[in-house]
Structures are given as C-alpha cells and as structure tokens.
Chains A and B, each alone.
Chain A
Amino acid sequence: MASIAEAAPKPPNALAGALKEAALAAGVAGALALPLIGFHLVDVTGGVSVESRLSWVVYAMLAVFAGRFLLAITRRPAAASGHRDARRSASGKRNARLVGLVILAAVLVLPFLPFSNRYVLDTAITVLIYVMLGWGLNVVVGLAGLLDLGYVAFYAVGAYSYALLALYLQFGFWECLPLAGILAATFGVLLGFPVLRLRGDYLAIVTLGFGEMIRIVLLNWQDFTRGPNGIDSIPRPSFFGLPFREEPPEGGTSFHQFFGLEYAPEHRIVFLFYLILALALVTNWATLRLRRLPIGRAWEALREDEIACRSLGINPTNTKLSAFAIGAMFGGFAGAFFATRQGFISPESFTFMESAVILAIVVLGGMGSQLGVVVAAAFFIVLPELAREFAQFRMLLFGLAMVLIMLWRPQGLISGREPSIRLGRPADG
C-alpha cells in the first residue's frame, strides 16, 4: 500500500506547519469550550446558578491540539487516497452480490446460532425494520432523487392504520398489513400531488412539514388517536391464525399446541424476526425489479434530467408520484409491523429524528445501493446499542458518527451503480 508520496520524508517546515495548525485549532476549541464547557448551569431552588470548571476547557484544548497535530502530520496526499477509493469501490461492486448472499445466509440462521438470545433477536428485528425503511426510502431519494425529509409520516400512517383498525374494528394483523400499505401510499399520493412540482429543497421542507403535521395531528386528535398516551394492547400477530399464547383462546389452538411444542415466549420473537425478514426481502425484490422496469428507469432519468425526460414524453408528475407512493407503501408495511411488534405506539416514535436516521441510512449506504442500506442500518442501530454504557453520550456519539462518516465517505459506503440492462442481456435474461 505504501506509495512513494507516503514514504518520502516530510519537508522540515511541515512540522512547524502542523504545530501552527494545531495551535490554531486549540485556540478555536478554547473559545468554543469557554462558555459551554467552562461554565455550567446548576439547578437551584427557584432558578439556576452557574459554576465554573475552567480546567475542562484546558483539557479540551489539549485534546484538540493533540488530535489536530496528529491529523496534520499523518494526513496522506489527497491524490493517493482518491485512487484507493476508486479501486475499492470497483472491487466492492464485484463482490456486492456475494457479500449480500453471505449476509442473507447468516441472517436466515441467526435465531439458531448459539449466541442468539432475545436481545440479539430484538436488535436484529430493529435493524431489519430500518433496512426495510431504507430500501423503501431509497426508491424516493436514491432512484427518483426526491429529497424526502418526512418519510416517517408514512411509517406513522402504517403503524396507526393498523393500531386504529384493530382498536375500532377489531381487524387482525394480516388484514391490516395490505391496508396499511395502501393507506400510506394514498397519503403519499395526496401529499405528493400538490408538491411534487417543487424544486428539490422546497420539496424537502414541505415533506418535513408534512411529517410534523402528521405527528401534531396524532398528538392532538385525542378522541381518535388517544394523543400522547398512545395506543396500547395492539394485537400481536398470529402464525397465520394460530396465536402465540400459552393459553389458547376458547375453541382455538395456539402455535405451540398445533406444532406439539413446549410453550416458549421466544417463539413469537423468532416468528417476528422471520416476518420482518420476509417483508424486507419482498421490499428488496420489488425495488430491484422495479428498477429494471421502465418505471424504474424513468425514476433514475428524472433524477438525472427532468427536462430531457419531458422531451421524451415522460410525465414527470405521475412518475414522481409513483415513486413517492411506492416508497410510502413500504413505509406503511414497516409501520404496521412496528405496531404489532411493539404492541404499543405513540406519536413519540415518529419524530423527525426517525426520518433523519432513515435518510442517513440511505445516504451513508451510498444512494441506490441495496447492500449499502443494510450495512448502514446495522451500523446506525447497533452503534447506539453498543454505546448503551455511555448512556448520556449515546446520541452525542451518534451525531458525531454521522458527521465523521459523511466526511470520510461523502459518496456513501457503496457507491457506483449497476446498469439496469445490458446489451444482449435483457433484464430478465
């Protein structure tokens, strides 16, 4: 790996330059730290008081000085690192399919691995929900190039569709799953129709606003949605009609009786795991297929050049709307699953933060890359889990990671696109 540029000794003034840069950075860090680290508000009766901890400022400055100095003396020439990136992404593309299959195989047997327990499965289910959401949002952002900052709205619509249908009409999960998708898609069309003419960033803020609007309605329409208290005792899914309960309902059979098993609460977790895995794989299959159909190519073409699309007779509004609706539909499915898995939902679960995380998963994964979404989702869900010990620093580290990863790989983890069709090898060949 060592190139000539790296092996060559630094010119003598490089050290001085690095020291100067480090000193500057430390100075700025000091100014940043002084008001917020150097002083802190303490709650006292009847208000707040302020205490100083100026030594912390000094530590912060020293840390920044050391960090900046190390960065300055170890930074490699930009050209070399660019080259390395190009090579890695080329080989990454070749191996993507293989890696995907290995991951799939590992995930399929996960519940039977020795280390697998309830906690591991729960985390895996959460990761899979975000994988599914990422794949759904990828249609909108990655393929069609529409910046949607309110994707969580469709997730919420799906979750509340199921919860409310179960609450008021006693619908079961399997009837609600398609309905949740359809309702979310309908919301997507209703929102999209007036606003999809808007230019990128205007669209972003309107979608963000829409996400907030849904949340505000859920919070305040107390008679219908039960407001901030949320909806509890949402029915758990059954195994195609067989409930996961120790005591079967009157005249019915439970899952463990039907299969002659000992009752175990893990059955339901394992079932939920395979359910979300199946839903995610359906999402993956459908989005990959759609990409190779005329509609998918039109999405990508719209992302590239809307004017050229119009000159070729493509209706931009309908095409964007279809991307929005399909993305929303998968969000709705994931929402219904989320509701049945948690058994309880409240507007708390559908904040802007969720939209941001899903979008970050798509962008970090490398827009349009299915495998990238998996890796990014795993990272963003598992990282906070690992950081659980640092309880209060968790979200801080999360935000920091988002920034650092974007700086490290602005193109996303897996960049580069695969053509949807090749000459002499049609998509179905």
Chain B
Amino acid sequence: MGALLQVEHLTMRFGGLVAVDDVSFAAADREITAVIGPNGAGKTTLFNCLTGFYKPTVGRLALRRPEGEFFLERMEGFRIAREAKVARTFQNIRLFPHMTTLENLMVAQHNPLMRASGMSLLGLFAWPGYRRAERAAVERARYWLAKVDLLAQADDEAGALPYGAQRRLEIARAMCTEPCLLCLDEPAAGLNPRESAELNDLLRLIRDEHRIAILLIEHDMSVVMQISDRVVVLDYGRKIADGSPAQVRNDAAVIRAYLGEDEDAALPEEVARDLQAGH
C-alpha cells in the first residue's frame, strides 16, 4: 500500500528550542502508525504541525489521496480538516462541554450540513433537502455512538461524561468528519486496562472496516505494540527508530532513550513487561 502521508525533513523551532528536528517518515494508507517517545520528544508538536496549529519552520508534509495531493504545511488549520480530511483528537480532551454528545457529533459534520442548508437560508425554511441531510447526519452520529458505546448518553452534556467516555466521544467526533487520516494524541491516557482493550478494538475497526489510516501518539505500550503496523520513535525531536513493533522493541537506541544512557542497567520489570506486551 502506498504512503498516504509523507513527512519530509520536518523541523519546528520555538526561538532557540528545536522541538522537532529534521524528522522524516511515511504513514501508509489503512495502517496504524504509532509515534512514540519519552515526554518532550516532540510528538505533540509533530501533530500540531500536521493539523495546522503550528507552521513548521522547515519541511514538507505531503498527503496523497486519490483526489489529489495536499501540502499540509501550507494550509490553514481548518482547511486541513475540511479539504485534506485529516482529523485529530487532543491530549487534553477538547469536547464542547456544554453541548450534548449528539451535538458534538453534529458539529463535526458542519461542512456538509452547511452546504445542505444552503448556507442556512434553505435550512431556515426547513427545506426538504436539508432535512434529509440532517437525518443522514444523525444516522452517522448514531452509528458512531453505537460503536463507542455512548448511545444511551446521546442527549447528555458532553462535559458531564466520565473521562473514558469523553475520550471515546472525541474519537467518534473525529470520525464523523469522515477523515482519511485520523491523528490520535494519547487516546489511552487515563484509561483502565479494560477500556484500553476496548480502544484497541475500536482502532482496529476504524482501520479494517473503515479503511482509514491512523497516526497514533501513545505511551501505553500495550496499545502500541498490539495494534500498530509501524512504529516511529522520537527522542529529543529526532527520529531514532522506525519499523515494525518487533523491530522497534529490540532496537538498542530505543531502549537507551527510554532507560537512559546506562546500557548495563537491567530493564525494570514493569518496563520489560510493557515492551513485551505485544506477545
């Protein structure tokens, strides 16, 4: 399968700080690519460049879709979501807390609904075409609510949902934009083991049934190692490894990055367990 996203020589500087330093990698279509690395490795900065919140200092972010090629580094944030179809979630969940679960998913379908409502003019007078579009949008929302097990909370305030449910809702909301690339920033953070396992199933479903590529930042190795097709490791803004989970797990540079320079140190048991979790 061809590369959907090609990151080339991406560099992001903040004053003197180089958060991302000449990173290149590719993410294949319909695969899950994980980006891992210690805290401060530049993972979220990479995401922010991809989704238009930062303009990279140097580098190219090319997204190749059948419809054409998009250079994300040149696009405004909202256009990346609207035209290049890259959707994302946030490390610190960003829902619309006072709106309901369903409303959150309806906002995600803003652009098609806006067209159907004739920039609101037709919608104002309940034009049948708009009502059809709205029903279809509700159905899509219902589908994703079922997938993330939130149907019963559809009319509850999103901000009042439990933490794990908010994480799932954010993924559902991103999926409602019908993306071709889904960027997830630590989706398993704060989830208990059972919820993590459910998350794995959800991400597999998105990849296998919806045939959507996922770019994943994650610390939870049980998630990364089990579901990733490819793993990119960053440390201090540089790429230090790139390969299949099995390759990365045994990469000396990766182990060093996670455990420090002292190569003689034995792996603490829980770290070893995490790294082996894929087996």
Contacts and interface: CB of A to CB of B under 8 A. Distances in A.
Interface stretch (A51-59, A191-199, A286-294): A286-294
Interface stretch (A32-40, A264-272, A304-312, A380-388): A304-312
Contacts of A295: 114, 117, 119-120, 123
Nearest to B155: A422
A419 interface: yes
B100 A312 contact: no
A286 B142 CA distance: 28
A260 interface: no
Interface in B182-223: none
Contacts of B83: 313
B95 interface: yes
A294 B124 contact: no
B106 A421 contact: yes
Contacts of B173: 312
A93 interface: no
B103 A421 contact: yes
Contacts of A422: 100, 102, 154-155
A293 B96 CA distance: 17
A26 interface: no
B88 to A, nearest CB: 5
A124 interface: no
A293 B120 CA distance: 7
B124 A297 contact: no
B99 A301 contact: yes
B10 interface: no
A312 B95 contact: no
Interface string B57-101: 000000000000000000001110111000110100011111110
A4 interface: no
A316 interface: yes
Nearest to A300: B99
Contacts of A298: 107, 110, 114
Chain B contact-residue range equals 35 or more
Interface stretch (B24-32, B130-138, B234-242, B271-279): B130-138
A427 interface: yes
B222 to A, nearest CB: 27
A304 B114 contact: no
A294 B96 contact: no
B258 interface: no
A312 B177 contact: yes
B63 to A, nearest CB: 14
Contacts of A427: 134
A420 B173 CA distance: 17
B114 A312 contact: no
Interface in B10-59: 51-53
Interface of B: 51-53, 77-79, 81-83, 87-88, 90, 94-100, 102-103, 106-111, 113-114, 117, 119-120, 123-124, 126, 131, 134-135, 138, 141-142, 145, 151, 154-155, 173-174, 177
Given A295-B123, A314-B111, A427-B134, 4 more contacts: A293-B120, A297-B103, A307-B90, A310-B81
18 contacts: A289-B124, A294-B107, A294-B120, A295-B114, A295-B119, A304-B96, A304-B98, A311-B88, A311-B90, A311-B94, A312-B78, A313-B110, A313-B111, A313-B177, A419-B102, A421-B134, A423-B102, A426-B138
